[in-house]
Amino acid sequence: MKNIAVILSGCGVYDGSEIHEAVLTLLAIEQQGGQYSCFAPNITQHHVINHLNGEVSKDESRNVLVEAARINRGDVEDLIELREQDFDAIIFVGGFGAAKNLSSFALDNDNYSVNEQVLLAAKAFAKVEKPAGYMCIAPAILPLVYPAGVKGTIGKDNATAALISAKGLTHIECSVGDVVIDEAHKIVTTPAYMLAESISEAAVGINKLVKYVLAFSK
């Protein structure tokens, strides 16, 4: 049974992990014969968004790890405890948390950086050539982990793709139900809610991503 590390960035599309993407990923891993453990950095999230009205909640602070624990019924570990030797692959869930907490992409555009803990974890898997899956906006992390020219997708948003490409990503347009595979680096990416208009649409690409990540793990 393949063991997959799933990286979360909080809880809620606007300031953390996209919850549908996270749950679909965990479900797909289990249904396809794998098992998973969830991780998140123990840091303060960039800001808190009221998901009912979309406004920033003033004078409120939340912790990424604590919020991520909501998604997996409390079973989430501090990212600093992740050891690549204990897992067969790593998957990064999307949501604005990937662009605000795991990286600064939503804030700094093409001058963005990746959180040090996140970068160390991603590079650890890359160094030993273990497979990785990145969905939604999480592929923005790829060019800071892998050599220039690494392939990936965030869907069909040319302006967003151009910002990531400036860092070294070879962006390939992709429909919501498909994936882009970089065989040389064993990376699978899918647009998920960068394009999905329903949970069922997001599920198609996420299921494929998990399928190929598990296949690369053999």
Q: Which positions are annotated as active-site residues?
A: 136
Distance separating alpha carbons of residues 72 and 169, to the nearest angstrom: 31
Tell me the sheet residues that pair with 38: 6, 76
Residue type present at position 37: S
Coil/strand/helix, residue 135: strand
3-state helix, strand, coil in the chain (%, to 5): 40, 20, 45
C-alpha distances out from residue 63 to 10, 22, 110, Å: 8, 18, 26
Nearest to 12 by CA among 56, 68, 66, 62: 68
